[in-house]
Amino acid sequence: MASDILQAFEPIFYPRSVAVIGASADISKFGNVILSAIMEVGYKGKVYPVNPEAEEINGLKVYPSLKEIPGEVDFAVLTIPAPLVSSALEECLRKGVKGAEILTSGFRETGTPEGRRMEEEIGRIAKRGIRILGPNCFGIYCPESGLTILPGQNFSREAGPVGFLSQSGGLCADLGQMAKGLGIRFSKMVSYGNGCDVAACDLLEYFFADPQTRIIAGYLEGVEDGPRFLEILKNNRGKKPVILWKAGLTETGSRAVMSHTGSLSGAAEVWKSVLQQWGVVQVGGAEELIDTIYAFLYLPGNAGPKVALMGGGGAIGVAASDALDRLGLSLPVLSPPILEKLKASFPAVGNSLKNPVDLGNPMIPPSMLRKVMEAAGEDGGIDTLVVIQILFYILYQVRHRLGRDDKPLSQFSFQPELLKACQEVQEKYGKPILLVLPDIVTDGKMIDLEIEWRRERDNYQAAGFPVFKTLDRAARALSHFVRYHQRLPA
Amino acid sequence: MASDILQAFEPIFYPRSVAVIGASADISKFGNVILSAIMEVGYKGKVYPVNPEAEEINGLKVYPSLKEIPGEVDFAVLTIPAPLVSSALEECLRKGVKGAEILTSGFRETGTPEGRRMEEEIGRIAKRGIRILGPNCFGIYCPESGLTILPGQNFSREAGPVGFLSQSGGLCADLGQMAKGLGIRFSKMVSYGNGCDVAACDLLEYFFADPQTRIIAGYLEGVEDGPRFLEILKNNRGKKPVILWKAGLTETGSRAVMSHTGSLSGAAEVWKSVLQQWGVVQVGGAEELIDTIYAFLYLPGNAGPKVALMGGGGAIGVAASDALDRLGLSLPVLSPPILEKLKASFPAVGNSLKNPVDLGNPMIPPSMLRKVMEAAGEDGGIDTLVVIQILFYILYQVRHRLGRDDKPLSQFSFQPELLKACQEVQEKYGKPILLVLPDIVTDGKMIDLEIEWRRERDNYQAAGFPVFKTLDRAARALSHFVRYHQRLPA
């Protein structure tokens, strides 16, 4: 069965040829944006623009209709007015096209009888032998085969382990941008809009079967077939992490869902209990979604709820304690012998060593942090290390005080040394380490800090360590990871 | 009584002369950092470094002790080891110093009998005629008089309406950085650490009396005198907004408070009900704190809970609806005649006009947004306009598609035109407008978007419009503002 669904979707995710029906030379039209994006992202198969009124677009020969295309067409992208969609699909059937995505909107989501009728017609055509994505969607992004979504042109060309399904195209576009610098890469991302044929159930089934997908994530407004959806989750429970943002759970949200994709959104409590029962990680927004995917990508399986938190600055410790406590994570006091050893390394004054470990000084030298990391590594009561290097902006201060305002910030950074400490401690004790590097500067003139931050983050990530901008975000993502692995107390 | 407290604190916030006891030539020591910072931020009075082992620091003559200083000293900054603090304070008393801040830690927060004993001694000295801030604090930032906090060197030199009191020095340092680009300026910011003499009650009283302070905000771990604190809030209820982050409200957080400032943090429920009763805006973290201050600074008094939300992209609308609904804000359907008029301006397909208004296209031309803004302005059922220009990153796409990758992003920006629309609509209808401009790009190579974002944000702010990076943050801040003004349904 798994191989059936992989085979069925092969011409859709890995088409040998693609027709863009409604291709346009006008760069402001979707019909040009999508054609250009597919070409730029590096689709290697044949691309056939279709438009009765053009001869050449982006240097490609244009065909007046699908039937004039000489070779076979596996997949069609439709970006033509809604009333023309069903006859174009009929042509697709005649040409033997296996799959189509309909970018056009103006169907069920309008709430009009005409919109519903046209969408039902598409659904009926689909049953006659073509799989259809949309309408009212942004399409498929599959870096391995070179397909991309709207607008998509600057999406990463690298494939990765995350399969993403979404009723919102805008969220797919956003997620691709959010993911890019975080090293999150996708196997397939599918915006399915109104989902008149292919929708959540098929895609979930596909992602469970797809060997390229290790982590499944999604944005849902409603589900077309509840019992089937639950059956798929139940049958695959624990096989791959599933991270879902189910939106429209309030009254106002539910009304907005209706005008967006015309779905029925369902009651919040039902969704919550159902998703929890089948081991789904439920998130509540785009930031939480990306952070959770990020944690699942970077954290090793032994990340647990007993956290040692270290950094400088008491309020961070207090705020962190509040945040972790609320999320079911704990900050156990270090075990007595470890604590005694640690105390011997630090002056009694200006430090609080129990956990959270506050080393007083706002910019803590990595050599000091390393001692705490070693202690937490050695302590059998600690699962996970969270290192906060607060006052990142103090780099400015350090540079200024050394009279080197003309030099790049990177020359004054403690991060390379801290990264080395993280690597050595992790190698020695095998415990996961999360970094929290707040970059809170809002000043337009201090942009070099953001540049430096992104550079250092890339270095940590390349070494396998996730970097979060706030402790709250790190704690929430860790908590989802730990809960999924059922290591949280009830 | 109000004038009494202003007068009592005059030599502390506006000293004619300052002695830095423990001034150092070593740039890594607090005794140099604080001296340099005060000089750089522009303190105009006399500065006397005190250190028996130096002759000149930062070009200033050093005095071996306080008594050798020829003139009067209003204020002393102490950055000397804890065991030397009380005798230095005795010298301050003899010299007639009116106020002192003790940056040194190693007192009550260590949890040792010796630490407690030394702190009690400081408290007793204070009662003999000197007001003391700290110990274990970062001091005072008062741009009007040129005082600053640790490290403080790059804090804004402009004064403003926000009075901030904090048990955490690190948070003050952070807040100064967060505030800088947002146009948030301070009357006084006071880090009072363990608060053995001057603490929350005095500062709250002072800020209520201070004509420079219009908005009071604070970070509290505990309060030294609960009944007095409540009395002050009660007596001043409604005079000035008070925005408080009360930390340490969980069990773990409460333990962390004890090792940070040695305070007793109290039960969450008690705090919540008490703060609510006296009209205090209670926030739960640094980001929420700064966002709320920002909203109180930029929003006009008529900002109300009935929101019209407009932008492009359905998921944003759905997510926004969920977020607003949870916060007690509403998204009323536009009134029938307004809706009809609006419908006449847009094609039926690809738009959802009811509210949230989703204009389909991810990068909405300002001329289209203006039509929706006009409608919401005209609609008597709407209080507040929230404009979301999502896919900010699509600027890259636009530039690229026009074949101008070599030009600055600013040349392709819709924002100046959108800003003009905001100004004209606000002038015409007088309703508050909030901008949400998500900048979600994480890629290190796409830093020019962040530069462009900050530039445009500055332009909106200069025209009086607040700009948030996420809808959730905007909604939370608006909700605090509206609740304070008691315009939210119960």
Helices (H), B379-466: 394-401, 415-429, 447-462
| Touching A: B residues 60-79, CB under 8 Å | none
Using the Cβ of A251 and the Cβ atoms of chain B, whether some distance falls under 8 Å is answered with yes
Whether A439 contacts A453, CB under 8 Å: yes
Q: How far is A409 from chain B (nearest CA, A)?
A: 15
Residue pair B180/A441 in contact (Cβ under 8 Å)? The answer is yes
pLDDT computed for residue A279 by the predictor: 87
d(CA A101, CA A38): 13
Which H, E and C letters describe B31-54, residue by residue?
HHHHHHHHHHHCCCCEEEEECCCC
Radius of gyration of the CA atoms of chain B, in A: 26
Whole-number pLDDT of residue A322: 83
Q: Which of residues 444-463 of B touch A (CB under 8 A)?
A: 444, 446-447, 450-451, 454-455, 457-458
CB pairs under 8 A between A and B: 273
Alpha helix positions (H), A239-363:
251-260, 268-277, 286-298, 314-326, 336-345
Window 115-134 of B: residues touching A by CB (8 A cutoff) are none
What would the pLDDT profile of B334-385 be if each residue is shown by its tens digit? 999 999 999 898 876 667 788 888 877 666 788 989 999 999 999 999 999 9
Distance in Å, alpha carbon of B319 to nearest chain A alpha carbon: 6
Name residue, tokens 């979404």.
Answer: A166
**Which residues of chain B lie closer than 8 angstroms to A318, CB-CB?**
168, 221, 247-248, 253, 256-257, 260
Task: Please give the pLDDT value at position A487.
Answer: 65
Per residue in A334-367, pLDDT (tens digit) is 999 999 999 898 876 667 788 888 877 666 788 9
Per the DSSP assignment, residues forming a β-bridge with A232 are none
Closest approach of chain A CAs to the CA of B166, in angstroms?
A: 10
From residue A150, give the alpha-carbon distance in Å to each of A41, A297, B369: 12, 25, 22
Report the C-alpha gap between B304 and B328 in whole angstroms. 11
Listed in sequence order, the residues at least 6 apart from B271 whose beta carbon sits closer than 8 Å to its beta carbon are B246, B249, B282
Contact A229, A223 (CB under 8 A): yes
Confidence at residue B250, expressed as pLDDT on a 0 to 100 scale: 75
The torsion of the CA quartet A154, A160, A166, A169, rounded to 10 degrees, works out to 0
The Cα–Cα gap between A152 and A141 comes to: 8
pLDDT at residue A350, as a whole number? 67
Tell me the Ramachandran region of residue A195: left when phi exceeds 0, alpha when psi lies from -120 to 50, beta otherwise. left
A contacts of B249 (beta carbons < 8 Å): 322
CB-based contact B450 A447, cutoff 8 Å? yes
Instruction: Classify the phi-psi angles of B155: left when phi > 0, otherwise alpha if psi is within -120 to 50, otherwise beta.
Output: beta
Decide if A84 contacts A21 (C-beta within 8 A).
no
- Give the pLDDT confidence score for residue B280 in this predicted structure: 94
Burial A298-314 (b: 16+ CB within 10 A, else e): bbeeebbbbbbbbbbbb
Q: What is the pLDDT of residue A315?
A: 63
Give ipTM to 2 decimals: 0.92
Residue that the structure tokens 């174009």 belong to? A88
Residue A47 structure tokens: 């691309």
User: How far is C-alpha A391 from the chain's CA centre?
Assistant: 28
> So what's the architecture of B2-296 in CATH?
3-Layer(aba) Sandwich (3.40)
Measure in Å the smallest separation between the Cα of A251 and chain B Cα atoms. 7
> Does any CB of chain B come closer than 8 Å to the CB of residue A286?
yes
User: CA B121 to CA B82: how far, in whole Å?
Assistant: 12
Q: What is the pLDDT of residue A444?
A: 94
Q: With H, G, I as helix, E, B as strand and everything else as coil, classify residue A159.
A: strand
For residue B75, which phi and psi values (nearest 5 degrees)?
A: -140, 140
Which stretch of DSSP H or E encloses residue A55?
A: none
The superfamily CATH assigns to domain B301-484 is: Succinyl-CoA synthetase domains (3.40.50.261)
β strands within A193-286, DSSP E: 215-220, 242-246, 281-283
Cβ B58 vs Cβ B66: under 8 Å: no
Q: What confidence score (pLDDT) does residue A363 get?
A: 67
Q: How far, in Å, are A52, A358, B248, B253 from residue A315 at the CA level?
A: 66, 9, 9, 10
Residues of chain A with pLDDT under 70: 1, 263-265, 313-315, 348-350, 361-363, 390-391, 487-490
Task: Count CA within 13 A, CB hemisphere, residue A424.
Answer: 13
Distance CA(B201)–CA(B178), nearest Å, equals: 26
- Give the contacts of A380 (CB within 8 A, at least 6 positions apart): A335
pLDDT along chain B (490 residues), means of 10: 88 98 93 94 96 96 97 97 97 98 92 94 97 95 95 92 95 94 98 95 97 97 88 93 89 74 72 85 94 98 94 72 88 93 81 81 80 96 91 85 92 92 97 94 94 96 96 95 78
Domains in chain B: boundaries: 2-296, 301-484
Q: How far is A196 from chain B (nearest CA, A)?
A: 17
- Name the CATH code of domain A302-472 (choices 3.40.50.261, 2.60.40.1120, 3.40.50.300, 3.40.50.620): 3.40.50.261
Contacts of A266 in chain B (CB under 8 A): none
With contact defined as beta carbons under 8 Å apart, do A106 and A193 qualify?
no
Residue B263: HSE in the Cβ half-sphere, 13 Å Cα cutoff: 35
Q: Which two tokens stand for residue A358?
A: 């506050």
CB contact under 8 A, A318 and B253: yes
How many CA atoms within 13 Å lie on the side-chain side of B363?
20
Cis peptide preceding B151, ω within 30 of 0: yes
The string of DSSP letters for B321-354 reads HHHHHHTT-B-PPPPHHHHHHHHHHS-STT-B-S
CB-nearest partner of A105 from B247, B360, B455: B360
Those residues whose C-beta lies under 8 Å from the C-beta of residue A406, and which sit 6 or more positions away, are none
Reduce the DSSP state of residue A50 to 3 states and report it.
Answer: strand
Quote the CA–CA distance of B152 and A90 in Å, as a whole number. 70
Q: Which residue in A376, A328, A383, A337 sits closest to A356, CA to CA?
A: A376
Q: What is the DSSP string of B254-299?
A: HHHHHHHH------HHHHHHHHHHTT-EEE-SHHHHHHHHHHHHHS
The per-residue pLDDT for B189 is 98
A112 to chain B, closest Cα gap in Å: 10
| The pLDDT of residue A373 | 96
Which residues in chain B touch residue A178, judged by CB atoms under 8 angstroms apart?
440-442
Pairing outcome for strands B186-191 and B139-141: antiparallel
Buried b (16+ CB within 10 A) or exposed e, B312-321: bbbbbbbbbb
User: Which of B110, B348, B397 has its CB closest to that of A110?
Assistant: B348
Interface test with A, best of B156, B164, B177, B307 (most A CBs within 10 A): B177
Judged by a CB distance cut-off of 8 A, whether residue B27 touches chain A is yes
Question: Which residues on neighbouring strands pair with residue B19, listed in sequence order?
Answer: B48, B76
CA distance readout (Å), B181 to A396, B185, B294, B456: 16, 10, 11, 12
CB atoms closer than 10 angstroms to residue A409: 21
Three-state DSSP class for B228?
helix
Searching chain A, which residue's CA lies closest to the CA of residue B393?
A177
Using the beta-carbon criterion (under 8 Å), do B330 and A27 form an inter-chain contact?
no
* Residue carrying the six token digits 């589900």: A223
CA dihedral A270, A272, A276, A280 (to 10 degrees): 110
The answer to whether A203 and A190 are in contact (CB under 8 A) is yes
